[in-house]
C-alpha cells in the first residue's frame, strides 16, 4: 500500500457520550486543581496540593487515551516533584531558623 492509501483508509473513532462527559469533567477538575495550587500560599501545603493536581493530570491523560503518559505523570507529578519541593523547603527553613 502506498502512504497516501494508508492515510486515506478509515480510522477508528471512539463512541461519543460517556467518554466526552468524562473528558469534560476531568478538564474542569484540572482547571480547578491548577487554580487551587496557585491560591494556596503556604509552600508546604502548596506541595501537597501540587501532588493532588498531579493525580488529576494523570487521570486527564488516561481519559485522553495516553496511558503511557499517565504512568509517568502519576510518579513524577504526584510523588517525585512534591517530594523534591518538600525536601528543598526543609533545607531552606532550617537555614532561616
Partner 1 sequence: MTPAVRRWVFLAGMAGLAAFYLWGLTGLPGFGNYPGPYGDIINRIAVAQTKATGVVSAVNFEYRGFDTLGEEFILFTAAIGTATVLRRLRGERERAARDEAMDRNVPPVSDAVRMVSLLLVGPTLLVGWYLASHAQTSPSGGFQGGVVLATSFILIYLAGEFLVFRRIGPVDVTDAVGAVGAGGFAALGVSAVAMGLPYLSNFLPLGSTPGAVSSSGTIALISFFVGIEVAAAFVLIVSELLDQTLFVRRESR
Are 51 and 10 in contact, with CB atoms under 8 Å apart? no
Nearer to partner 1, 24 or 36 (CB): 24
Contact stretch for partner 1 (CB under 8 A) within 29-37, 39-47, 49-57, 75-83: 75-83
Residues in Cβ contact with 77 at an 8 Å cutoff, skipping those fewer than 6 apart: 50, 51, 53, 54, 55, 57, 58
Contact stretch for partner 1 (CB under 8 A) within 28-36, 37-45, 51-59, 86-94: 86-94
The least distance separating partner 1 from the CB of residue 81, rounded to whole angstroms, comes to 11
Kindly report the backbone phi and psi dihedral angles of residue 67, in degrees, each rounded to the nearest multiple of 5, phi listed first: -65, -30
User: Does 21 participate in binding partner 1 (rule CB under 8 A)?
Assistant: no
Amino acid at each position: 500500500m502506498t502512504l497516501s492509501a494508508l492515510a486515506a483508509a478509515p480510522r477508528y473513532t471512539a463512541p461519543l457520550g460517556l467518554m466526552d462527559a468524562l473528558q469534560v469533567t476531568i478538564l474542569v477538575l484540572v482547571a480547578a486543581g491548577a487554580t487551587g495550587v496557585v491560591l494556596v500560599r503556604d509552600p508546604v501545603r502548596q506541595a501537597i496540593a501540587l501532588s493532588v493536581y498531579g493525580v488529576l493530570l494523570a487521570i486527564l491523560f488516561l481519559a485522553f487515551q495516553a496511558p503511557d503518559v499517565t504512568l509517568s505523570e502519576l510518579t513524577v507529578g504526584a510523588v517525585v516533584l512534591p517530594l523534591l519541593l518538600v525536601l528543598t523547603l526543609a533545607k531552606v527553613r532550617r537555614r532561616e531558623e
